[in-house]
Chain A
């Protein structure tokens, strides 16, 4: 197992390397002189020259990249152009809020999606199954930011069930959970729509297998057949796709953060984009990719754990 994890970690290095190239290309292809765009038209020449030197824009592009890469390897993401703060510290300050939101959404989606998927599969093509597939299709077609707006309008502004916006505290405080509930549920239910269909498809395939018939014919309770023999095998493909869903989840969480004024990395990113804080944008995109890569690694390891047929080497 350890060997497998190390092997997976080694594969990450080239992926991360290409991500850093892409991230630095982002700035390279920005039209105009980023420093002038950032400082405005009336900026004096001295300030422009100083920032250019600070960014290293006066040096060739590969030198700039290598220097930046060298810093990243040492855990130094540089300083924010606009606020002159350490970028890593800025991101780490926002990271817990983003993680809370996404982990809560994942838990919601698993708690709801597994039973819904299993019930849809065991009662395939009945009213319940059709209802859940109808619901899924509608929910994934709705823009995330719109559902969030409507929920905010209905549950916070009209019914006063949840705070209007913001994060009132860390997750272990009562206020923290209270403010997390609505954005977390909105983000999670969208994933329910996707994952429950995957589990349904997986279950339908598995339930037709011979060993399920064997399990039934030897007199096992239907519950045991479905959950112990069926679900565990149906989870194997679901787990992989779950890993592929993570970038999507993080994407939508950016928008949910904006609607709910949730002070996470997504808000920091949009803020940085509007302030044209190039170094901060680079740092945030990099950390987001790192999150995806780490989660996918965890999913791969989990996959190997769920399905013993997978060889670690």
Chain B
């Protein structure tokens, strides 16, 4: 085993140990894991159809056969919420993937090259900060014509700046390290230095931030769907379910309650996990060692 490998194993083990000892991380992990399981096995977890109307059960209150009740078309709410996990995970995952690609790339370029490129990229992130996110996301999603795909683009387009700032500030300190200087001295190209010597050292904070930004992405996408710009009824997406059931909520409190709870628990799970991960991945934190 090479020395690098040993070091890597130890670090991973330390991080895992730290995560196991953190109550927030355990709770967050259980929530995230359950949601992923629900998303994958949704059709096998319930005997009801998420889309089929059942006119015998309109606005059926919570009971043993329908733990969360039924909605205005008699569809089992629990079933729809379980299927909603798919949308949450897909939207959250896709948004973060796009944000990572754009945000990390720009952050690496700005931090490594500096000068005028850095000024342009970082001024852009400053300017993005002065447009309220929802205002920009609503405009982008609306102008692109709505739908889940455009919501993903809109939320990704307003959220990448967080990654850029994060990676940029990390690169600024990493590029002064001796090993980067050494790599340059033995004739490594810029691309090799960036990808092999700088990028790996920014990953810890990027991963932790990803968990938190999935939470934000899920919240925003649900908000856009609630406004009518994202998933359209009858899609069992949580935000769209809340918008769709809005007119019935004074007669059937469960329609307004459970999809919101689902969003909250999911967001809480990713937030807990992200916070714990950030602490666990921080090599400066001595706790748990």
Contacts and interface: CB of A to CB of B under 8 A. Distances in A.
Given A144-B223, A248-B132, A251-B134, A18 B127 contact: yes
B30 interface: no
A150 B257 contact: yes
Contact of A22 (B127, B259, B267): B127
A289 interface: yes
Contacts of A144: 223
A259 B287 CA distance: 45
Interface stretch (B56-64, B102-110, B135-143): B135-143
A289 B135 CA distance: 9
Contacts of B136: 285
A11 to B, nearest CB: 10
A281 B131 CA distance: 13
* Chain B interface helix/strand/loop/mixed: helix
A43 to B, nearest CB: 17
A18 B129 CA distance: 12
Contact of A270 (B138, B263, B267): B138
A143 B123 contact: no
A172 interface: no
B99 interface: no
A288 to B, nearest CB: 5
B250 A258 contact: no
Interface residues of A, number: 50
Nearest to A149: B256
B135 A250 contact: yes
Contact of B130 (A254, A258, A274, A292): A292
Interface stretch (A25-33, A74-82, A226-234, A305-313): A25-33
Contacts of B246: 149
B39 interface: no
Interface in B206-264: 215, 219, 222-223, 226-229, 239, 242, 246, 249-250, 253, 256-257, 259-260, 263-264
A251 B139 contact: no
Nearest to A275: B142
A87 interface: no
B256 A19 contact: no
B126 A141 contact: no
B274 to A, nearest CB: 11
Contacts of B202: none
A252 B267 CA distance: 16
Given A26-B139, A269-B138, A292 B263 contact: no
A30 B144 CA distance: 6
B226 A254 contact: no
A211 interface: no
B134 A252 contact: yes
A69 B143 CA distance: 21
B288 to A, nearest CB: 19
Interface string A6-47: 000000001100110010001101110000010000000000
B132 A274 contact: no
B117 interface: no
Contacts of B250: 153, 157-158
A289 B271 contact: no
A14, A140, A273 — most chain B CB neighbours (10 Å): A273
Given A30-B143, A30-B144, A270-B227, A146 B263 contact: yes
A247 B128 CA distance: 10
Contacts of A105: none
Given A137-B271, A145-B242, A247 B130 contact: yes
Nearest to A145: B226
Contacts of B129: 244, 247, 292
Interface string A116-148: 000000000000000000000110111111110
B166 interface: no
A243 to B, nearest CB: 10
Contact of A288 (B128, B135, B228, B260): B135
Contact of B133 (A137, A143, A251): A251
7 contacts: A143-B267, A153-B250, A157-B249, A248-B132, A254-B135, A269-B139, A289-B132
Given A281-B139, A285-B136, 17 more contacts: A15-B123, A19-B127, A137-B268, A138-B264, A141-B267, A143-B263, A149-B256, A157-B249, A254-B134, A254-B135, A255-B134, A269-B139, A270-B227, A273-B143, A274-B228, A284-B135, A289-B132
Across the A-B interface, the 5 shortest Cβ-Cβ residue pairs: A273-B142, A146-B260, A251-B134, A250-B132, A141-B268
